[in-house]
């Protein structure tokens, strides 16, 4: 089930990731009821504990609210704050009814100060209503493979019984969101300043994520959460020595320590290992394919020192067709590079054919088009 889920999400987020190997069980002291640690580029699960347990998630919900706001294309537009947004309970950035504020500022207030008022204001602007926005949240969750998630509000308050997710699904969401440059910038901001509509002084927001602001030098962002029923929830990201990690904990009495422990164990035991470089595929003996094949991205995977010795690469190619040799077009994808670790598949990377003949004919094709593209013209 884990590998099926990861295959789905890799395709959905528009690049071919590598599927998970059995996760390490090193972090036995993690306090969280549910926890997971994944590597960002590959999606490999490095540690998990009850990662598929369906739970209340509190304000880590706002990761979905933020990415939908950013993807709406309205990030620099202004909205008018409603009475419904101002009246929402819980954590707040103290919006004023009727004030005009940029969506971008709302997203900063949402992620840094966990403003429930900001969440509703975003929902009304992007979705037309809070209910309309919730529809978009569940639609996006379905698109990116969050199969055990149901959103019922944009902030994570306990007022809806079935507003729930899993540590694994929230890791999928954070992995998706971290591919967005604007989201990464907002998630990793320690202090943000914006004008106050009724005062001479600015609103100044300090990020609630203590890993980012003071506790862990390698933390690059994240989102905190807490309600009475969900308890402490936390999603964070960290980077060290070229390895980007995502940690999720749900119902974790010692969440800061949980995340640091998981990160440190992974950074100590895993290394981002280059398995095949982007560009021309070497070692091809077939005369038709020789020097004409490439992969379009570096194949990099987190591995322990022992695992590095068990990696094998195998090139599988379509047999060259007679008509290709006679000049007919060759398909762009002609095979795959199969990657296995200790006999278990961890990825299949497309192999592309680059047709030199097309490049040589490029100029003549352009000239030909000048005369023949409009055969009926006078």
Catalytic residue among 41, 49, 62, 140: 62
Catalytic residue among 7, 42, 55, 59: 59
37/236 Cα distance (integer angstroms): 10
DSSP 257-295: HHHHHHHHHHHHH-EEEEEE-SEEPP----TTTTT-EEE
278/255 Cα distance (integer angstroms): 38
Structure-block tokens of residue 114: 């966990």
Is there a catalytic annotation at residue 240? no
Is there a catalytic annotation at residue 59? yes
Is there a catalytic annotation at residue 104? no
Of 214, 218, 260, 311, which Cα lies nearest the Cα of 35? Answer: 260
Catalytic residue among 7, 114, 165, 261: 114
| Beta pairing partners, 245 | 39, 238
* Long-range contacts, 194-198 (Cβ 8 Å, 24+): 194/105, 194/108, 197/96, 197/99, 197/100, 197/101, 198/96, 198/99
Q: What residues are labeled active site?
A: 59, 62, 114
């Amino acid at each position: 089930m884990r590998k099926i889920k990861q295959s789905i999400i890799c395709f959905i987020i528009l690049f071919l990731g590598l599927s998970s190997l059995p996760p390490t069980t090193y972090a036995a002291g993690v306090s969280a009821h549910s926890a997971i640690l994944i590597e960002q580029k590959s999606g490999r699960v490095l540690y998990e504990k009850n990662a598929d347990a369906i739970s209340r998630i509190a304000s880590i919900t706002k990761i979905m609210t933020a990415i939908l706001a950013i993807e709406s294309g309205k990030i620099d537009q202004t909205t008018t704050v409603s009475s419904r947004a101002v009246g929402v309970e819980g954590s707040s950035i103290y919006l004023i009814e009727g004030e005009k504020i940029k969506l971008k500022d709302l997203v900063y207030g949402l992620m840094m100060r966990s403003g429930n008022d900001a969440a509703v204001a975003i929902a009304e602007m992007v979705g037309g209503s809070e209910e309309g926005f919730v529809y978009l949240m569940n639609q996006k969750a379905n698109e990116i493979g969050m199969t055990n998630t149901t959103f019922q509000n944009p902030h994570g308050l306990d007022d809806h019984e079935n507003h729930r997710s899993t540590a694994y699904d929230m890791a999928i969401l954070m992995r998706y969101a971290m591919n967005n440059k604007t989201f990464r910038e907002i998630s990793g901001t320690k202090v943000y300043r914006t004008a106050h509509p009724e005062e001479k002084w600015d609103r100044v927001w300090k990020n609630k994520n203590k890993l980012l602001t003071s506790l862990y030098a390698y933390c690059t962002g994240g989102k905190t959460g807490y309600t009475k029923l969900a308890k402490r929830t936390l999603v964070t990201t960290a980077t060290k020595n070229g390895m980007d990690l995502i940690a999720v904990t749900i119902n974790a009495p010692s969440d800061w320590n949980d995340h640091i422990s998981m990160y440190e164990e992974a950074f100590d035991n895993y290394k981002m290992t280059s398995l095949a470089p982007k560009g021309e595929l070497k070692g091809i003996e077939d005369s038709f394919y020789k020097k004409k094949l490439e992969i379009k991205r570096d194949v990099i995977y987190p591995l322990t020192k022992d695992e590095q010795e068990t990696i094998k690469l195998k090139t599988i190619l379509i047999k060259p067709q007679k008509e290709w040799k006679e000049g007919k077009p060759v398909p762009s994808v002609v095979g795959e590079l199969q990657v296995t670790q200790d006999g278990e598949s961890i990825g299949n990377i497309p192999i592309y054919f680059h047709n030199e003949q097309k490049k040589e004919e490029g100029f003549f094709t352009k000239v030909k088009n000048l005369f023949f593209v409009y055969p009926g013209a006078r």
